[in-house]
Structure 1
Amino acid sequence: MLELEPQAERFILHFGEMGGRWGVNRTVGQIYALLFLSPEPLNAENIAETLGISRSNVSMSLRELQSWRLVQMVHKVGDRREYFETPKDVWEIFRVLVEEKRKREIDPTLTLLRGLLLEEPTSEQEAYGQQRITDMLELIELATSWFDEVHRLPPDTIKSLMRLGSKVQKVLGVADKVRKSVGSGESK
Structure 2
Amino acid sequence: MKLNPATEKFILHWGEMGTQWGVNRTMSQIHALLYIIGKPLNAEQITDTLGVARSNVSTSIKELQNWGLVQKVSILGDRRDHFTTNTDVWELARIIVVERQKRELEPTVRFLQELMDSPEFDQENKEVKSRIRETEEFVNTLTSWSSEMLRLPTSTLKRILKLGASIKKFLR
Q: TM-score range by the shorter chain?
A: over 0.9
Structure 2 residue 105 is the aligned partner of structure 1 residue 101: no
| Cα distance in 2 for residues equivalent to 1:113 and 1:47 | 42
* Structure 1 residues 143-162: aligned runs within 5 Å: 143-162=142-161
**1:112 matches 2:116:** no
Say if 1:113 and 1:50 are closer, same or farther in 2 by CA, change over 3 A. Answer: same
Q: Give the aligned partner of residue 81 of structure 2.
A: 82
RMSD: 1.4
1-side partners of 2:113 and 2:140: how far apart? 11
Could you tell me which residue of structure 1 aligns to residue 127 of structure 2?
128
Against the structure 1 CA distance between its residues 92 and 122, is the aligned structure 2 distance closer, same or farther, given a 3 Å change threshold? closer
Gaps of 5+ in 1: 174-188
Give the AA of the match of 1:61: S
Once the two structures are TM-superposed, the CA of residue 128 in structure 1 deviates from its matched residue by: 2.7
Secondary structure of 1:7's aligned partner:
helix
Unaligned runs of 5+ residues in structure 2 are none
Name the aligned partner's letter for residue 151 of structure 2.
R
Tell me, yes or no, if structure 1 residue 4 matches structure 2 residue 3: yes
Cα distance in structure 1, aligned partners of 2:104 and 2:76? 39
Q: How many Å separate the matches in 1 of 2:124 and 2:58?
A: 53
The residue type equivalent to 1:150 in the other structure is: M
Instruction: Provide the secondary structure at the position in 2 that maps to 1:166.
Output: helix
Amino acid corresponding to residue 133 of structure 2 in structure 1: T
Task: Give distance in 1, aligned partners of 2:122 and 2:164.
Answer: 46
TM score, norm. by length of structure 1: 0.86
What's the % identity of the aligned pairs? 48
Q: TM-score, normalization: structure 2? A: 0.93
Amino acid at match of 2:93: F
Q: Which has the larger radius of gyration?
A: 1
Q: CA deviation at 1:124?
A: 5.2
CA distance in 2, matches of 1:161, 1:171: 12
In structure 1, how many angstroms separate the alpha carbons of the residues matched to 2:14 and 2:124? 47
Report the AA paired with residue 55 of structure 2: S
Q: Which has the higher contact order (CA 8 A, sep 6+)?
A: 2
Please give the secondary structure, in 1, of the residue aligned with 2:87: coil
What is the aligned residue count? Answer: 171
- SS of match in other structure, 2:83: strand
Higher helix share: 2
